[in-house]
Amino acid sequence: MEKQRLSRTLFGQFTRISAYGFVLVIMTFLGLYGGLYLDKVTGMAPNFTLLGLVIGIILGFRGFLHEAATERRKAS
């Protein structure tokens, strides 16, 4: 059996989507740990932890949704 190769365009799409998945994870952890740090400094646990987590998730998804919208516009 002969292996099929991914087209260059499809490979580029997979690469960008996986990179945005990585950014989502990194932004979530940065928000979480930033919130934990602020809670430690201010003594207001868990307020900043929850706020940092939500902000990190929102910022991570923002890039992912922007990329998905761009790909949808290209396909149309």
**Residue 2 — very low, low, confident or very high, per pLDDT cuts 50/70/90?**
low
As given in the structure block, the two tokens for residue 70 are 């761009």
State pLDDT tens for residues 7-28: 888 888 888 888 888 989 999 9
Q: State yes or no: pLDDT of 47 exceeds 90.
A: yes
pTM: 0.77
As given in the structure block, the two tokens for residue 3 are 């292996």
Could you tell me which residues come within 8 angstroms of residue 17 by beta carbon, excluding any fewer than 6 positions away?
A: 64, 67
